Amino acid sequence: MTALQEWFDDDKELPRSNDRERFDRGMFISINNHKQGNDDLYGSLKKQYQSLIYALTGSNPSRDQIKVTDKLPAQRTILQLMAKNRVVVAAAMHNYDAYNQKTGRGSRYNFGGYNHLHFYAFGLHHKMQKHSGGVDGAVEHIRHCLFRHNRFANPNKSNNIDIREVGVGKYQYNDVVTPTTLLDYLSLPKTNPTKDCIINYMAGAENGEVANPILYVYQTGV
């Protein structure tokens, strides 16, 4: 069982509000990269963002228009992006833990020098609704498109790329995100690092300190 699976393991299915769309609070993507370090993963972020958008729209934004920054976008920037139906991605690179035979957690081959990616993506639910395969088809298309930019120990394993909806089950009251509150949510690793939520998990902020810097990826231009 991975740390991610354990984090979601007691995610009891609570009823969803009828006025909500699937993935309207965002998408959490966890990638089990194999023997890829921070430099490799950082260098792939624009391509990963392109693949995410391509899966949803069938078109690739220019890499020159994709911004990768460690500075949290201002509220004005976020609202402008939302008005243009853009997708905002937060990315974090986690170290692998040493393999623990008793728990089955960790990695035998990636501990010590290698990392794996987590993404939080917001603003994609309307595009997912319009996908030819519906929301479930959009999820599989995203997984397929992201596959090409990541290396895996076993390409055939179903959990190489894990995609989850944010703000459902027991976390429906912790991961409450809207276009106008996205900045507040992304700020939680600094403003409320002990809150049990996806963005704090990504930042490694459980103990009140940010262990994993967050990078922000979004499309600029018209």
- pLDDT attached to residue 10: 47
- pLDDT attached to residue 77: 97
Predicted confidence (pLDDT) per residue in 67-79, tens digit: 999 999 999 999 9
- pLDDT attached to residue 208: 63
- pLDDT attached to residue 37: 58
Q: Which residues of the chain have pLDDT under 70?
A: 1-19, 32-38, 94-113, 151-156, 158, 206-210, 222
- pLDDT attached to residue 16: 53
- pLDDT attached to residue 5: 47
- pLDDT attached to residue 11: 46
Rounded CA-CA distance 29/34 in Å is 16
- pTM value is 0.82
- pLDDT attached to residue 2: 45
Residues 6+ apart with CB under 8 A from 219: 49, 53, 61, 65, 66, 67, 81, 86, 87
Q: In what order do the strands lie in the sheet with 66-69?
A: 66-69, 215-219, 88-95, 115-122, 27-31, 161-165
- pLDDT attached to residue 79: 96
